[in-house]
Amino acid sequence: MRNDTPPRIAVVGGGLAGLTLALALHRAGLECRVYEQAPQLGEVGAGLQLSPSATRLLHRLGLEPALRSAAVLPEAMEFRRWADGSVISRGLLGKHCEERYGAPYYAMHRADLHRALVEALPAGMVRLDARCTGADEGPDGVVLRFADGSHAEAHAAVGADGIHSVLRQALVDDRPRFSGQSVYRGLVDGRRIPEVVAEPRVQLWLGPGRHVVCYPVSGGRLVNFVATVPTSGSGSESWSRRGRVADVAAAYEGWCAEVTSIIGAADQVSLWALHDRDPIARWGTGRITLLGDSAHPMLPFMGQGANQAIEDAVALAVCLREAGAGELPAALQRYESLRSPRTTLVQERSRGNSTAFHLPDGEAQRERDAAMGTPAPERQDWLHGYDVEAALTGHQPA
């Protein structure tokens, strides 16, 4: 096979990671097909935070109008005490964020981002009801096998199928690691808690053994909240398992009025047991690689899961767009070598926050609060100011 043959890429998984990669590959002029096991496209879950390292990339992919119409631009991120709601630290977002990093910080509903990606893709790029059961790799390509007995050929395959990735299972014999914590996720009509919508912020209340995150989404029509609770057993990673509002309220009894009013305004909640996996030494073989949660599933305590997946997707597209079919192994290795150190660091810091956010009141908690109480914008430059395209090409794209 000639090295200048344009490669065909197969993507397993039609979530945010897989669709962002598909859009990036399409805009790079590469042939791509996405294989999604669900019978119809639709992103479950609730809110997510998109930092400038990801929003700059999504804007370059042509999604800025759709994102600005659906997202909320929070003015600040505030950490607060659990008992009285007093502010531990406040970091500016909004205009300050755009001026410092050249891209906004969005709070939005996952479904709004998923819809924007779907609408930006050409018709027919996503094959539904296609559950991948395995892959056979040869010297010139990959054959994907599906549950209905069909198969698909490509020059390379990308696993973007989440924490239970089928393609990951072929690379490493590991299992999801339960964190000992679960989260209740809820969406509340913004009219029920107008004080949260009036001054849009990302707010986090930290307390012994648990914390709450809250921010408006969908243009302020809804308020997303996430409430962490310690959990025994291994649970399930599903986002769609139904929880009980009464259980969340009981878990946060005695917390400040802001927290209890947000929880009390919810009609229903979902329950999600938190898992991640340890970083792995390699993400792929010659013609197979991983993306997003398939490569580096992380706890949500930095709000970085979607952001790192978007960075992955654009980085992989940059590496592939200059590679012929015969050069794919080198292109995939370049992608992995760039991404693995950064995603490993974010994974580790997310795990660290699972302890730091939940300290019991006492000396360690007071030391944490004192350290957080003097925010310095440059501390976040490594995270928000990063431009993965510039890191690969040596210049910032227009």
pLDDT at 89: 94
Residues 234-289 pLDDT 10s = 666 555 578 999 999 999 999 999 999 999 999 999 999 999 999 998 999 889 99
What is the spatial distance between Cα 350 and Cα 347, in angstroms, rounded to a whole number?
5
Tokens 């992989």 belong to 316
- Active-site residue 35, yes or no? no
Q: Which of 105, 106, 215, 252 is catalytic?
A: 215
Residues 17-55 pLDDT 10s = 999 999 999 999 999 999 999 888 776 668 999 999 999
pLDDT at 46: 83
pLDDT at 2: 36
Residues 63-108 pLDDT 10s = 999 999 999 999 999 999 999 999 999 999 999 999 999 999 999 9
pLDDT at 240: 59
Tokens 């969908």 belong to 218
pLDDT at 362: 97
pTM: 0.95
What is the spatial distance between Cα 283 and Cα 294, in angstroms, rounded to a whole number?
9
Nearest by Cα to 113 from 178, 157, 54, 154: 54
User: What percent of the chain has pLDDT above 70?
Assistant: 95
